[in-house]
Structure 1
């Protein structure tokens, strides 16, 4: 990164409070974390409910930072250039938009209620066969993380694949305007964040804000099997659909899983061919379909695509399948949860060829608002209809999962409820049997990875 300070000031509409006398004005990094600051850094101090990073301006000055943004008119340290802006958060987005504009490369933006990360990872895996790809890391999909991702661009990158998350209206709008994508993807419209958005129609409206920054004429890829997304039209953007239905531009048939692989036949507008994916579930075929569609747009060969699909590696805690020393198969899908992703995970468990019992450990799903009880019960009823043996519901809201499962007439499903995670962990040694296949899934705030670690300790006979 090499940015001229005066260009930065112009891009964000800032005002320099103490212009430098030396004329030194080259910025080589932008940081929001004072611990990562070094020479020639621009520091962006954000303000949260419990912190004000302006307090660290003297610290970053001592580390050699060249300049800092500020919402204050006070000079905190004369040894660092202060650039006044009305909002450092907005300035961060404006600066990221300016920096992104310096790169004339394809930017693929992915949003949706479920599957954003796995879709982003799949697209990046396929495109990486031919291009040097920068992709969103971890959960850097919000109004802080997306700018930091874009700041990672350098002259060696040829494609960027970014993830866009949101909780409220206008968030996708701001992210899309910042990233100015050349291609957009909406994976589905579920019930995540329905507490804030009111209805699935509200969620659709929020997701379609991706069009606000999508470059004119750029394609939008949507899940054509989704009851709301299949209604999407645009006079300014081609709509390319994918899914299982033959009415889609890209669709699949003959889907099946074997071992840790999923297989399918893909039908594109120009070709038909079999694919293999090192991951389980029909939802992974959906992710592959949109990756293939984007790869076609960027001129990858069929062999490139097949190689890219095989190179896919899921992000941590997203249906990672491991074996313990004592013969348990653990399906760690604990990163987050919604009704749709819960059902998809349960379907993976049900279809898995397991030597022993199939056990689902499900926890609370957050941000459901008044819909929470009914949506948790819906997941319970769905679980009872799958070919699984045992269901453990853990957490306050998860009581409704157990209730929904018990409403069904399947007497073969053993259902148990635990009010809290620690009590459940205490009982793990008695709960799990040799050769069990165990699925774990809950919203991030439940921290179900603690159960995953506890399972490993129990099976390794650790105290």
Structure 2
């Protein structure tokens, strides 16, 4: 990165409060974290309810920063050029939009109630068989993370795959008009964040904000099996729908699992062929379908697509499969949770080849407001429908999961409830047996990684 200060100032509508030190007119990095600032950086101090990063302006000067944005009219340190803006968070988005405009490469934007990260990873994996791909890392999918991702664009990149998350209306709008995607993907519309958005129809409206930045010659990709997305009609852009249903442009059949791989036949408008996907679950076949659609649009061959599918690896805590020393298989899918993702993970557990018991450890799903009891109970209902042997529900809201499962009075399902995961962890030595397959799924705030770590220590003398 090498940006002229005057171009940055023009892009964000800023005003200089002093003069650049030593006549340095170039910025080589943009940082919001004062600890990551290095020589030549522009520091963007953000404000929150409990912090004000303006307090670190002097410290970034000591680290060699060239300039800082500021919402204050005071120059805190003359070693830095102070650029005044009304809102540093908005300026960060404006600057990212300017930087993105310097690159004439395809940008794929991915949003949806669940599956954003795994879909982003799958698309990036497939495209990486032919292109140098930049993708969103970790959970950098909000109004701070997305700009920081775009700032990682370099001349060698040929494609960018950008994840877009949200909690409220207008957030996807701001992300989309910043990233200006050439392809917009909506994985599904479920119940995540329904507390803030009021209804699934409200969630659909929020997700469709991705169209606000979609380029005029862009492409819209939707899950055609989702009840709400299947009804979406647009005239401004061509649209591709993917899923199992016969009305989809890209669809699958003959889906089966063997070991840790999923096998499927892919049917496109142009071809029909078999693929192997190195992960489990029908939802991952959906992710592969949209990745294949985008790959074909970008001119990839069938052989390149198959090679790209092999390159897929899940992000941490997203259906990571491991085995402990004493033979317990752990399906760690505890990064986040909603009804749809819970059910998808439970289906993976139910279909997993095992000589031992199938155990689901499920925790609270957050941001559901008044809908929480009913939605948690729905998960319990689904557990009771599946060939699962034991359910451990953990957390305040998870009580409704246990209740939903218990009401079926299924003799082959044992249901246990723990209000606190600490108590469950203390009981793991008595609970787990060799050859058990254990699924862990909950919202991120439940910190189920502590249970995963504890399972790894069962009978391992650690």
TM-score range, shorter chain: over 0.9
Cα deviation 1:293-346 (Å, max 9, x = unaligned): 000000000000001111100000000010110010000001000000000000
Which residue does the alignment assign to 2:258? Answer: 258
- Whether the 8 Å CA contact 1:385–1:410 is kept in 2: the answer is no
- Whether the 8 Å CA contact 2:21–2:79 is kept in 1: the answer is no
Normalising to structure 2: TM-score of the pair? 0.99
Looking at structure 2, the residues matched to 359 and 246 of structure 1 have their Cα atoms a distance apart, in angstroms, of 34
Which residue does the alignment assign to 1:271? Answer: 271
Where does 1:133-212 land on structure 2 (aligned, <5 Å)? 133-212=133-212
Which residue does the alignment assign to 2:28? Answer: 28
Which residue does the alignment assign to 1:71? Answer: 71
Where does 1:17-416 land on structure 2 (aligned, <5 Å)? 17-20=17-20, 22-416=22-416
Which residue does the alignment assign to 2:438? Answer: 438
Normalising to structure 1: TM-score of the pair? 0.99
- Whether the 8 Å CA contact 2:99–2:150 is kept in 1: the answer is yes
- Whether the 8 Å CA contact 1:440–1:448 is kept in 2: the answer is yes
User: Alpha-carbon deviation of 1:217?
Assistant: 2.4
Which ranges in structure 1 are unaligned for 5 or more consecutive residues?
Answer: none
Cα deviation 1:411-431 (Å, max 9, x = unaligned): 110000001010010000001
Which residue does the alignment assign to 1:14? Answer: 14
- Whether the 8 Å CA contact 2:21–2:81 is kept in 1: the answer is no
- Whether the 8 Å CA contact 1:109–1:185 is kept in 2: the answer is yes
Cα deviation 1:158-216 (Å, max 9, x = unaligned): 00001000000000000000000000000000000000000000000000000000101
Which residue does the alignment assign to 1:425? Answer: 425
Which ranges in structure 2 are unaligned for 5 or more consecutive residues?
Answer: none
Per the alignment, in what secondary structure is the counterpart of residue 76 of structure 1? coil
Cα deviation 1:45-65 (Å, max 9, x = unaligned): 001111111011111111111
- Whether the 8 Å CA contact 1:126–1:309 is kept in 2: the answer is yes
Looking at structure 1, the residues matched to 12 and 234 of structure 2 have their Cα atoms a distance apart, in angstroms, of 31
Looking at structure 2, the residues matched to 419 and 219 of structure 1 have their Cα atoms a distance apart, in angstroms, of 46
Per the alignment, in what secondary structure is the counterpart of residue 433 of structure 2? coil
Looking at structure 2, the residues matched to 360 and 189 of structure 1 have their Cα atoms a distance apart, in angstroms, of 24
Tell me how many residue pairs correspond in the alignment.
462
Cα deviation 1:259-294 (Å, max 9, x = unaligned): 001000000000000010010010000000000000
Cα deviation 1:114-171 (Å, max 9, x = unaligned): 1000000000000000000000000000000000000000001000001000000000
Looking at structure 1, the residues matched to 238 and 178 of structure 2 have their Cα atoms a distance apart, in angstroms, of 21
CA RMSD of aligned residues (A): 0.7
User: Alpha-carbon deviation of 1:410?
Assistant: 1.9
